[in-house]
A = this chain, B = another copy of it.
Amino acid sequence: MRLKIAVLAGDGIGPEVTHQATNILCAVAELGGHEFTFVEGLIGGIAITETGSPLPTATLDAALECDAVLLGAVGDNKFNALPPDKRPEAGLLQIRQALGGFANLRPSIAYTALSESSPLRPEVTKDVDILFVRELLGGLYFGAPRWWDRESNEAINTMRYTRDEVVRVARVAFELASNRRQKVTSVDKANVLEVSQLWRATVTEVAKEYPSVTLEHQLVDSMAMHIMNIPRNFDVVLTENLFGDILSDEAGVITGSLGMLPSATIGGAVNLYEPVHGSAPDIAGTGKANPLGAILTAAMVLRHSANLEQDARAVEAAVNKVLDAGYRTADIARGQQPGQTPVSTQEMGKLVHQAL
C-alpha cells in the first residue's frame, strides 16, 4: 500500500501534535510494509507570516496531488483584528473548499478510562458512541453576500443550501448509519429558518432510500440539551455546517476533552483529516497539548484513505491501552486519581507507538 500524504501542521500546537500523528503513521507503514510519503506545506498564520497568504498556491497544488491531507490546526491571536478573508482560518476554509470534501465525520466516543475527565456523570456518558456528519461546504461559512460595511455600520452573512448539497451529505450519513446502529438524527431550526425547512424536507426524502435506518429530526436548541442529557440516544447526527461546528465541540464534553477528537472530511477530490481542536496558542510549545486527537485522526486516514481498517483499529486500540494504563496529558487529567501518570505531548505519542 502506497500513500502520499500532505502534512499541513499549521499554527500553535498544530506542529507538535501532527508530529506525533505522522510518527504513528510511519510505525504502521513499517509494521505493515506500506509506503507512506509525506509532503509538508504551509497553511494558516504561519503561511501568512512567511508568504502573505493563509493558503499559498504551492500548498494547495501539493495537497491536490496527494492521496490525503493531514492538517494540524490553524489560528493565531495576532491576526484577530483582520477581516475573515485575511485570517489564518481563511486558509482552512479555502482548502476545505478546494479539496471538495463536503462530509466532515466527527466521532464522539466515551472512553471508559476517561470517565472521570468528563464534567458529565459516568452513568450519562457510559457507552456513548456518536458520529457527527457535519456538512462542511455550505451554510453561513460560504454563503454570499457577506460583508461588513464600516460606513453604514451593518454586516451580513448568508446561510444558503441547495437540495443537492443536502442530498449528498445526507446519503453519507445514512450509509454510515447502515453500518452502525441504524439511526440518523438530523438537526435543524425548521421552526424558524427556510433553509432548515429545505434541509428537513430533503433529508426526509433521502431517508426513503434507506428503509432500515430510522430518521429523527431535532431542533438545534433542543439538541444542544439532549446531547448532554441522553447522549446514548444518538448514533449518527447529521447537521449543517455551523450547527455541526457548535454541537460537535459541545460533544467533546462527552469524551472529556476536545484534545481527544479526530475528524475526516470525505466526498471530495482529496480527503482532509484534522483534529477537532484548535491551535491553542496559549499552550503551544509547552508539551501540554494532547496528541491523541491527531493520532486518532491518523487512524481515520488509515480507515478512509488507505482502506486499512485493521490498522486503524490497531491505532485506536493502542490509544485505549495507553489510557487504560493511566497516562494522561493535562487536558484529560481532571479528577486525577492514584494510578494516573501525567505525561507530555511527546511522551504520549511515544506510549501509543509502543502500544502498537
For this chain, the copies found in one complex come to 2
CA of A245 to CA of B189, assembled, Å: 10
Known contacts A224-B246, A249-B222; decide if A157 and B121 are in contact (CB<8 Å).
no
Answer whether residue A330 sits at the interface, using C-beta atoms and an 8 A cutoff: no
CA of A220 to CA of B241, assembled, Å: 13
Answer whether residue A89 sits at the interface, using C-beta atoms and an 8 A cutoff: yes
Answer whether residue A57 sits at the interface, using C-beta atoms and an 8 A cutoff: no
**Which one of A97-105, A148-156, A287-295 is at the interface?**
A148-156
Which chain B positions have C-beta within 8 A of A155?
160-162, 194-195, 197-199
Query: Smallest Cβ distance from A180 to chain B, in angstroms?
Result: 23
Known contacts A221-B249, A246-B246, A258-B225; decide if A143 and B119 are in contact (CB<8 Å).
no
- Proximity string of chain A (199-243) to chain B, C-beta cutoff 8 Å, 1 when within and 0 when not: 100000000000000000000111011001100000000000011
Report how many residues on chain A are interfacial, defined by Cβ distance under 8 Å: 59
Q: Which of B89, B121, B156, B220 contacts A143 (CB 8 A)?
A: B156
Answer whether residue A141 sits at the interface, using C-beta atoms and an 8 A cutoff: yes
CA of A28 to CA of B194, assembled, Å: 43
Can you name 23 A-B residue pairings with CB atoms under 8 Å? A83-B197, A87-B191, A140-B192, A153-B164, A153-B198, A154-B162, A155-B197, A155-B199, A156-B158, A156-B159, A156-B195, A157-B159, A157-B195, A189-B245, A221-B245, A221-B249, A221-B250, A224-B247, A224-B249, A228-B228, A228-B253, A229-B253, A243-B246
Please list the 10 inter-chain residue pairs (A to B) with the smallest Cβ-Cβ separation, ordered nearest first.
Answer: A153-B163, A155-B198, A224-B250, A221-B249, A148-B194, A119-B124, A155-B195, A228-B253, A157-B159, A89-B191
